[in-house]
């Protein structure tokens, strides 16, 4: 059986000369297999297509994908976005009384799965007739859809995309209006715990991404429901807010309800899930939901790149580099140093201790939203002048990736022309361009890129410049787990090879701990004052942070990835007592007990 998918956004039959139609060997012998439909897009008959791949290679826009799939997959087809559209096979299970976490690459069908579970999107089973309940015979999902269709299941959804149109009347409401319009005390208490009350008269349209995320999450969790479907809760949130949001999700689902949560922050996902399902496949082409694994196994299988029950390889090779930095003594030349700094911006004041950064090393900046991380990065980059103190950037070449990205109206290959010199180097080609998949975006206009694609281009551009100091503000935003870890690895490799030094602001603790040697921890009050401490070893920085949040972490003995301990578990109590909030090694026996 064959799956032929055409990306209608890339397909442009007006200017390509339609090689997909003219070169198709089946067309040539008179069986209409590839043609241009009324909407001007290429269409392919999957029954007569022989899978030769000629159209795939001839298409100048890489708009066509043809994949051979096993026959039995047909029986699992849940939804097709139109003729030759993206195909979703299977769905993640909803386990009563538990939280199921969903991991997977961007564009693999996670949000689509959630919309189907929410009853927002009616699955068409590929328009092959058939019946949804038959499709899920023998699975918990059969009962689920039967209850859903009879109205016996109450569903509450936190969508991935938060903003409505600018002129939508809802966005004109104030936070107070939204909170007080509910008679529910649960919303009021969530709003308090998420610190939303102080936003009072602010209109929804004026909120920051993090504030809107917390409000939307509070609304979803305050609803009385049987099933909570939460799409990417940690976007725009800082580390404190992520852990708080995860706690609240767990609390809400406890007591016989169910939760399904899509999440790219692996530490958060690990913390909030009881089960994990991997949605794998080829982004934009097809997606397939794995069965539910226990959280630890599910995430470890995902990192190893192999799903044993499905006998499926997710990628070549494992993701395993969680042992860098971490408490090791840095050696080498100091590339960059700065003294005490002070900067006032409106009502906000930033102060900073001095510090230094060595060649080949990466320094993480960790702190709440609105505490001055971006301001410090800009001062270190020489873009913002401090009121007191100085940063000796004279003579240093600095490469900076801002937090907010604005795409230019240019083809990616032209954008990347700015770093031609790097493009001729092997390490840059393999460890940055290919590792981040920039080669696949080469002919796309930057304006047509998704948030994640744009982020990867911005990171590649930043790492491609010839510099001594690299500063990256929130490189993990909009990226999936795999991309985040690849970005982290690319940053490390470039610092090592160029003998430069890097700074990363980010909220993904896995990215920070697996990429950095040192950490600058911010303290203070969001929006009012922030203080950046001097850089310390990552281990000490994470310890300071975890102590403040009141959680402890251990390392998974198999993969080395950090995991949050259950509150009150033996390890949790021991580590809190000894002050080792972040434990660097765990034996397999201890892992078994916790």
In the complex, which residues of this chain contact ligand ADP (CB under 6 A)? 81, 85-86, 104, 106-112, 283-284, 345-346, 348, 367, 369-375, 527
248: partner contacted, choices ligand ADP, Mg ion, none (Cβ within 5-8 A by kind) = none
Nearer to ligand ADP, 112 or 501 (CB): 112
Q: Tell me which residue has its CB nearest to Mg ion.
A: 111
Q: Rounded to the nearest 10 degrees, how much is the dihedral formed by the CA atoms of 72, 75, 76, 82?
A: 120
Q: Per this entry, what is the length of the chain?
A: 594
Nearer to Mg ion, 107 or 475 (CB): 107
112: partner contacted, choices ligand ADP, Mg ion, none (Cβ within 5-8 A by kind) = ligand ADP
How many CB atoms lie under 10 A from the CB of residue 444?
18
- Taking CB under 5 A as the binding criterion, the range among 103-111, 207-215, 264-272, 443-451 that sits at the site for Mg ion is 103-111
Residue 160 in the binding site for Mg ion (CB under 5 A): yes
The nearest distance, CB 559 to ligand ADP, in angstroms, is 23
371: partner contacted, choices ligand ADP, Mg ion, none (Cβ within 5-8 A by kind) = ligand ADP
Contact present, 157 and 114 (Cβ < 8 Å):
yes
The nearest distance, CB 331 to ligand ADP, in angstroms, is 30
The nearest distance, CB 123 to Mg ion, in angstroms, is 17
Nearer to ligand ADP, 266 or 326 (CB): 266
How many residues touch Mg ion under the rule CB under 5 A: the total is 2
Nearer to Mg ion, 116 or 416 (CB): 116
Residue 518 in the binding site for Mg ion (CB under 5 A): no
Angstrom distance (rounded) from CA 439 to CA 525: 42
Q: Which helix (H) or strand (E) holds 99?
A: strand 99-104
Q: Per-residue string for binding with Mg ion, 200-239, x by CB under 5 A?
A: ----------------------------------------
The nearest distance, CB 454 to Mg ion, in angstroms, is 16
The nearest distance, CB 397 to ligand ADP, in angstroms, is 24
Residue 111 in the binding site for Mg ion (CB under 5 A): yes
227 by DSSP, 3-state: which? Answer: strand
Angstrom distance (rounded) from CA 173 to CA 183: 17
The nearest distance, CB 240 to ligand ADP, in angstroms, is 12
Greatest distance between any 2 Cα atoms in the chain: 78
Nearest to 538 by CA among 363, 312, 300: 363
Residue 174 in the binding site for Mg ion (CB under 5 A): no
- Taking CB under 5 A as the binding criterion, the range among 1-9, 111-119, 266-274, 471-479 that sits at the site for Mg ion is 111-119
84: partner contacted, choices Mg ion, ligand ADP, none (Cβ within 5-8 A by kind) = none
How many CB atoms lie under 10 A from the CB of residue 587?
8
The nearest distance, CB 114 to ligand ADP, in angstroms, is 8
Nearer to ligand ADP, 107 or 325 (CB): 107
The nearest distance, CB 147 to ligand ADP, in angstroms, is 23
Nearest to 219 by CA among 247, 188, 250, 246: 188
The nearest distance, CB 579 to Mg ion, in angstroms, is 39
Number of helices (H), then strands (E), in the chain: 24, 28
Nearer to ligand ADP, 86 or 322 (CB): 86
- Taking CB under 5 A as the binding criterion, the range among 129-137, 156-164, 287-295, 338-346 that sits at the site for Mg ion is 156-164
Half-sphere exposure of 497 (CA within 13 A, CB side): 16
375: partner contacted, choices ligand ADP, Mg ion, none (Cβ within 5-8 A by kind) = ligand ADP
Contact present, 534 and 520 (Cβ < 8 Å):
yes
Contact present, 496 and 360 (Cβ < 8 Å):
yes
The nearest distance, CB 288 to ligand ADP, in angstroms, is 12
Nearer to ligand ADP, 83 or 323 (CB): 83
Contact present, 84 and 250 (Cβ < 8 Å):
no
Nearer to ligand ADP, 544 or 584 (CB): 544
Q: Is 426 exposed, middle or buried (0-12, 13-18, 19+ CB in 10 A)?
A: exposed
284: partner contacted, choices ligand ADP, Mg ion, none (Cβ within 5-8 A by kind) = ligand ADP
Nearer to Mg ion, 12 or 160 (CB): 160
Nearer to ligand ADP, 370 or 535 (CB): 370
Asked whether the CA dihedral 425, 430, 434, 436 is positive or negative, the reply is negative
Angstrom distance (rounded) from CA 594 to CA 588: 10
**For 232-347, where are the E strands, in sequence order?**
258-262, 275-282, 286-289, 293-294, 306-307, 312-313, 334-338, 341-345
| Whole-angstrom Cα Rg for the chain | 25
The nearest distance, CB 231 to Mg ion, in angstroms, is 6
Half-sphere exposure of 312 (CA within 13 A, CB side): 16
Nearest to 369 by CA among 550, 482, 204, 210: 210
- Residues interacting with Mg ion, by CB under 5 A? 111, 160
């Amino acid at each position: 059986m064959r799956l032929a998918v055409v990306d209608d956004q890339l397909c442009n039959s007006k200017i390509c000369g339609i090689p997909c139609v003219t070169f198709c060997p089946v067309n040539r012998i008179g069986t209409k297999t590839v043609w241009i439909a009324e909407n001007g897009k290429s269409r392919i008959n999957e029954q007569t297509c022989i899978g030769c791949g000629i159209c795939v290679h001839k298409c100048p826009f890489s708009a066509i994908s043809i994949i051979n799939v096993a026959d039995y997959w047909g029986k699992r087809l849940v939804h097709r976005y139109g003729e030759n559209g993206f195909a979703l096979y299977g769905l993640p299970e909803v386990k009563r009384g538990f939280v199921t976490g969903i991991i997977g690459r961007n564009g693999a069908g996670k949000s689509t799965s959630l919309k189907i579970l929410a009853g927002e999107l009616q699955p068409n089973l590929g328009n092959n007739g058939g019946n949804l309940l038959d499709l899920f015979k023998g699975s918990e999902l059969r009962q689920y859809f039967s209850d859903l269709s009879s109205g016996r299941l109450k569903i509450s959804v936190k969508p991935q995309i938060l903003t409505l149109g600018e002129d939508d009347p809802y966005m004109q409401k104030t936070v107070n209006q939204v909170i007080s319009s509910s008679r529910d005390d649960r919303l009021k208490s969530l709003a308090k715990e998420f610190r939303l009350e102080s936003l009072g008269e602010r209109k929804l349209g004026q909120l920051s991404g993090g504030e809107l995320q917390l409000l939307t999450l509070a609304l979803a969790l305050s609803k009385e429901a049987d099933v909570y479907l939460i799409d990417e809760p940690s976007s725009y949130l800082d580390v404190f807010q992520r852990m708080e949001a995860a706690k609240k999700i767990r609390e809400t689902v406890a007591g016989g309800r169910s939760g399904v949560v899509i999440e790219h922050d692996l530490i958060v996902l690990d913390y909030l899930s009881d089960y994990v399902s991997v949605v794998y496949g080829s982004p934009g082409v097809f997606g397939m939901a794995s069965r539910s694994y226990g959280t630890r196994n599910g995430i470890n299988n995902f990192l190893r790149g192999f799903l044993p029950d499905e006998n499926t390889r997710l990628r070549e090779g494992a993701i395993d580099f969680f042992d860098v930095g971490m408490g090791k003594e840095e050696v080498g030349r100091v590339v960059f140093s700065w003294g005490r700094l002070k900067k006032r911006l409106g009502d906000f004041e930033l102060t900073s201790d001095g510090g230094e950064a060595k060649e080949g090393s990466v320094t993480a900046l960790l702190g709440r939203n609105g505490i001055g991380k971006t301001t410090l990065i800009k001062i270190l980059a020489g873009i913002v002048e401090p009121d007191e103190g100085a940063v000796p950037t004279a003579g240093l070449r600095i490469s900076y990736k801002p937090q907010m990205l604005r795409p230019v109206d240019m083809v990616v290959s032209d954008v990347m022309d700015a770093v031609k010199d790097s493009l001729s180097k092997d390490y840059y080609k393999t460890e940055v361009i290919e590792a981040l998949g920039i080669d696949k975006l080469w002919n796309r206009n930057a304006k047509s890129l998704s948030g994640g694609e744009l982020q990867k281009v911005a990171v590649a551009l930043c790492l491609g410049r010839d510099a001594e100091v690299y500063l990256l503000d929130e490189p993990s935003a909009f990226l999936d787990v795999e991309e985040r870890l690849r970005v982290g690895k690319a940053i490390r490799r470039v610092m090592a090879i160029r003998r430069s030094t890097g700074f990363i602001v980010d909220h993904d603790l896995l990215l920070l701990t697996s990429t950095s040697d040192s950490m600058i921890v911010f303290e203070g009050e969001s929006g009012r004052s922030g203080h950046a401490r001097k850089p310390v070893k990552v281990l000490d920085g994470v310890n300071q942070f975890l102590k403040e949040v009141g959680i402890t972490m251990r390392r998974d003995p198999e993969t080395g990835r950090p995991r949050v301990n259950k509150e009150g578990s033996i390890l949790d109590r021991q580590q809190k007592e000894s002050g080792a909030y972040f434990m660097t090694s765990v034996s397999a026996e201890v892992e078994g007990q916790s």
